[in-house]
Amino acid sequence: MTFNSTAFKQQFPLFSHAENAQLVYLDNAATTQRPQCVIDAMSDFYSRYNANTHRSSHRLARAATSMVEMVRGQAADFLNARAHDEIIFTRGATEALNLLSQSLAKNLRPGDQIVLSAAEHHANLVPWQMVANQYQLELRFLPDVQGEPQLDKLPQLLNEKTKVVALSAASNALGFRIAVEWIKPLLPDACQLVVDASQRLAHDVVDVQAWDCDFLVGSAHKFYGPTGIGLLYGRAESLAKLPPWQGGGEMISRVTLESSEYAAAPHRFEAGTSSLAAIAGLGAALTFLQSQNREAMATYESHLNRYLHSELTRLTQTLPIKLLTSHNNNVGIAALVCRPESSLSVSDIADWLDQHDIAVRVGHHCAQPLMDSLGQAGSLRVSLAAYNNRDDVDALIHALERLPFESREIPASSTEGGEWLGDDLSSVSLDELANQPSWQKRYRQLTRWANLLQPKPEIRNETNRVHGCESEVWMVHQQQGDRHCFAIDTDSRVIQGLSVLLLVLLDNRTAEEIRSVDVNQTFVELGLEKYLSESRSNGFRALLDQMLGYLS
């Protein structure tokens, strides 16, 4: 039995819609698409046997309960757990990690230690920070090389106070796998191993017994399942020692006015009504994945990932971009950053790719300490799934080859002697932009305007930050008589160009004049209406809203 990516992709209805005919979806580390069987299973639950589970005698409730427990068994088999009761349903990996951190910490003492890495997703960092502050625990971090944790250094961190080691099985930002199976034999007897497998479950067969972990978490939407449902595996003896996290219905065996007795695992950790339709969808996703030749599927993804990295490496020879990742031992993630001499930022590149209907992701990917350690504010992440193919990679490379890179021009700063930081935009002609014959040429005109926005390092602080932008943007305001003046700084060429346009429309005007300008209509007339859409408004509208906010 082999793996056929074309046949696999045909199971995903999103790609069959006319508006997605040219879509190249390369944002799979954020969330995968759903096959028809998952959608059908969720619809089937709501249309045929929607009811709450457990403690009800009618047939719909029995059917719903049977489904939930059947999927629990499927999940146990999927992870090679020893028993069905070792699987707990959560809203996702984030909730599972919050559950574990809060429950495990209740059994720890001040001074006990938790070992993490700087590469962790915030979901496997922030909850541990919270309990460390709450219970006076110590966080320790594995040394890394270029962001990758060095497991051979782990023994140097361990002692009798080490009670938890919590690590991701693969980085969501850089894609590297770690050898989870090496970890448990190194740990003290009283130390619990927590594994975030969110980025492994779609790509590898995961065996919790082979990994010998005490706990493991994952989110269904990372492996073709629904959002809002996740898995928490816990070794039976570890779960038995774990106090409940949340209180409510179904997680108790007896309640009096003064106290409660809690049910055994897994129900002790499933307070309230679960997302039952999502559990039905999870069951369908597990069946769907298990029906594939997982070994052949992994081989296909590995070859595609090698091709992706080979093509991106070729591009780095001619374009001012740098590749942070390697295909070796990688789950299908490539991360790019711009070199200092580049005239564009990664958010500009993502915008350009979106213009070509190529979906990628830009930012620190909820791994900000990792990005900080690499000296980067963020990266452009390309992430593969089994329905991607070489045509998708070729479309990405072709679009990147046509990026409108220009040499970076940095004019002298206009901040001498404490004078106002305004820019000279007298050369800007709106007609010049409106007369461009295509959006590609309008895009290039915007990036040319970006050179007119002078650098203003003195305003780059948290007080002046414009929140809500994908890129980092700073703005200051000054009222001169009855006129309002603005100054903006950002590294994004597209946001620089849009900022120039906003300044031409709104800068050095009275409040009445500013309010009378129909910015939306102007953008439509200039052929820039795409920058008014919800998907793009996080940058432009945040700038506009902050400008208008200064008028009140």
- Render pLDDT for 203-224 as a digit per residue (tens, 0 to 9): 999 999 999 999 999 999 999 9
The answer on pLDDT for 195 being more than 60 is yes
The answer on pLDDT for 398 being more than 70 is yes
CA–chain centroid gap for 183, Å, is 26
Q: Distance between terminal CA atoms of the chain?
A: 67
Q: What is the mean pLDDT of residues 64-82?
A: 97
The pLDDT value recorded for residue 459 is 92
Question: Quick check: 100 and 107 in contact, CB under 8 A?
Answer: no
- Residue 497: which domain range? 416-549
Shared domain check, 423 and 396: no
Region at 53 (left for phi over 0; alpha for psi -120 to 50; beta for the rest): beta
Q: Is 198 among the domain residues?
A: no
Q: Which residue has the higher pLDDT, 56 or 176?
A: 176
Shared domain check, 433 and 397: no
The pLDDT value recorded for residue 530 is 65
Helix (H) or strand (E) holding 79, with range, is helix 59-79
Shared domain check, 517 and 422: yes
CA distances from 166 to 114, 146, 244, 264, 532 (A): 7, 20, 19, 24, 42
Tell me: the pLDDT tens digits for 486-529? 999 988 877 888 889 889 999 999 999 999 999 888 877 887 76
* Three state DSSP letters for 99-124: HHHHHHHCCCCCCCEEEEECCCCHHH
- Weakest-pLDDT range from 174-188, 267-281, 294-308, 468-482: 468-482
The type of residue at 520 is N
Tell me: the pLDDT tens digits for 136-159? 999 999 999 999 999 999 999 999
Shared domain check, 453 and 340: no
* Three state DSSP letters for 472-522: CEEEEEEEECCEEEEEEEECCHHHHHHHHHHHHHHCCEEHHHHHHCCHHHH
pTM: predicted TM-score of the whole model, two decimal places: 0.84
Q: What is the mean pLDDT of residues 399-423?
A: 65
Phi, psi of 138 (to 5 degrees): -110, 130
Shared domain check, 542 and 421: yes
Shared domain check, 437 and 368: no
Comparing C-alpha atoms, which of 410, 546, 434 is closest to residue 488? 546
Cα–Cα distance, 10 to 461 (Å, whole number): 49
Q: Is 537 among the domain residues?
A: yes
The pLDDT value recorded for residue 537 is 54
The pLDDT value recorded for residue 406 is 61
Shared domain check, 493 and 459: yes
Shared domain check, 345 and 456: no
Comparing C-alpha atoms, which of 404, 409, 443, 397 is closest to residue 341? 409
Q: Is 124 among the domain residues?
A: no
Beta-bridge mates of residue 196: 168, 217
Domain boundary among 401, 431, 465: 401
Domain boundary among 401, 425, 449: 401
Question: Quick check: 241 and 190 in contact, CB under 8 A?
Answer: no
Q: Is 454 among the domain residues?
A: yes
The answer on pLDDT for 531 being more than 70 is no
The enclosing domain of 490 has a CATH number of 3.90.1010.10
Burial of 506 (0-12, 13-18, 19+ CB in 10 A): buried
Q: Is 242 among the domain residues?
A: no
The answer on pLDDT for 130 being more than 60 is yes
Domain boundary among 401, 430, 446: 401
From 191, 213, 338, 366, the catalytic residue: 366
- How many separate domains does the chain show? 2
CB atoms within 10 A of CB 145: 8
Q: Is 341 among the domain residues?
A: yes
The pLDDT value recorded for residue 538 is 61
The enclosing domain of 299 has a CATH number of 3.90.1150.10
Cα–Cα distance, 32 to 132 (Å, whole number): 33
Q: Which span out of 45-59, 94-108, 330-344 was modeled with the highest average pLDDT?
A: 94-108
The answer on pLDDT for 416 being more than 60 is no
415 pLDDT tier (thresholds 50, 70, 90): very low
Helix (H) or strand (E) holding 6, with range, is helix 5-9
Q: Which residue has the higher pLDDT, 176 or 377?
A: 176
CA distances from 280 to 21, 67, 68, 324, 377 (A): 29, 7, 7, 38, 39
Q: For a pLDDT cut of 90, what percent of the chain falls above it?
A: 68
Number of H helices, E strands in the chain: 18, 20
The pLDDT value recorded for residue 414 is 42
Question: Quick check: 367 and 122 in contact, CB under 8 A?
Answer: yes
Counting every residue written for the chain, the total comes to 552
Mention every residue, 6+ apart, whose C-beta is less than 8 A from residue 12. Answer: 33, 34, 35, 36, 387
Shared domain check, 329 and 395: yes
**Would you call 338 a catalytic residue per the annotation?**
no
Chain mean pLDDT for the chain: 91
Q: Hunting for tokens 């795409």 — which residue is that?
A: 530
Q: Is 276 among the domain residues?
A: no
418 pLDDT tier (thresholds 50, 70, 90): low
Shared domain check, 392 and 317: yes
The SS3 assignment for 248 reads coil
Q: Is 221 among the domain residues?
A: no
Tell me: the pLDDT tens digits for 220-257? 999 999 999 999 999 999 999 999 988 888 778 888 88
Shared domain check, 394 and 431: no
Q: What is the mean pLDDT of residues 29-42?
A: 98
Shared domain check, 421 and 308: no
